[in-house]
A and B are shown apart, each in its own frame.
Chain A
Amino acid sequence: AQTVTQSQPEMSVQEAETVTLSCTYDTSENNYYLFWYKQPPSRQMILVIRQEAYKQQNATENRFSVNFQKAAKSFSLKISDSQLGDTAMYFCAFIFNAGNMLTFGGGTRLMVKP
């Protein structure tokens, strides 16, 4: 079975600083798709970034970037120049080859402090 683990239930960071959220997973599949979603207090699920497992280059989206280590089964999210609007719950999620559904980690609550 595929599992997704976010070991940091809560984190905080000062505005304008950098923070890294961790995610590890377990799968025997070779091809899969990785995502980070953000859930602000409004509860809307918003896509932050997407990575394909077959791509070696780490994805980047403005202030957000990932460090994808396939051998270590690790997929961390780095937020640079943190802003107050980044305060949210962050979920890593995967689409594994066996199905099309997203499998989510338990989430990390991030607080950006002024």
Chain B
Amino acid sequence: DSGVTQTPKHLITATGQRVTLRCSPRSGDLSVYWYQQSLDQGLQFLIQYYNGEERAKGNILERFSAQQFPDLHSELNLSSLELGDSALYFCASNRLDVDTQYFGPGTRLTVL
């Protein structure tokens, strides 16, 4: 158990819908990272938050957004969902920038 929690474990929804994925980092960790793992794109970095502020952005679609709350949990919002958004979404956390990132169990999103 990494200490990072993610909910829900599985999510099945239809095209055009909006979903919210939630992540709670390890105790004491200030940074949260979101990654997408899909069959065709592999593991890709989406976005990083540090102590409530956006720190870095990767290949995140405009339909996707995220935020980190004062209690340091983070939410990833995916809207206008398409079939191609079906993937495993991971969040990871660490304390300092180059510290090892510890991953949550992931949320499997299926868009039908």
Contacts and interface: CB of A to CB of B under 8 A. Distances in A.
B43 A91 contact: yes
Interface stretch (B21-29, B61-69, B73-81, B97-105): B97-105
Interface in B85-112: 88, 90, 92, 97-98, 100-103, 105-106, 108
A66 to B, nearest CB: 14
B96 to A, nearest CB: 9
A16 interface: no
Interface in A61-99: 91, 93, 95, 99
B101 A102 contact: yes
Q: Is the interface on chain B under 10, 10 to 19, 20 to 34, or 35 or more residues?
A: 20 to 34
Query: Dominant SS at the B interface?
Result: strand
Contact of A33 (B48, B92, B98): B98
B56 A99 contact: yes
A28 interface: no
Contact of B48 (A35, A37, A101, A103): A101
Interface in A28-83: 33, 35, 37, 42-47, 50
Contacts, number: 50
A100 B31 contact: yes
Of B31, B43, B45, B58, most A-chain CB atoms within 10 Å: B43
A19 B71 CA distance: 43
The 8 closest A-B pairs by CB, nearest first: A45-B103, A101-B45, A104-B43, A100-B97, A99-B56, A33-B98, A106-B42, A44-B105
Given A100-B31, A100-B33, A100-B56, 19 more contacts: A37-B103, A42-B105, A43-B105, A43-B106, A43-B108, A44-B103, A45-B90, A45-B106, A46-B103, A47-B102, A91-B43, A93-B43, A100-B48, A101-B33, A101-B58, A102-B33, A102-B45, A107-B42, A107-B43
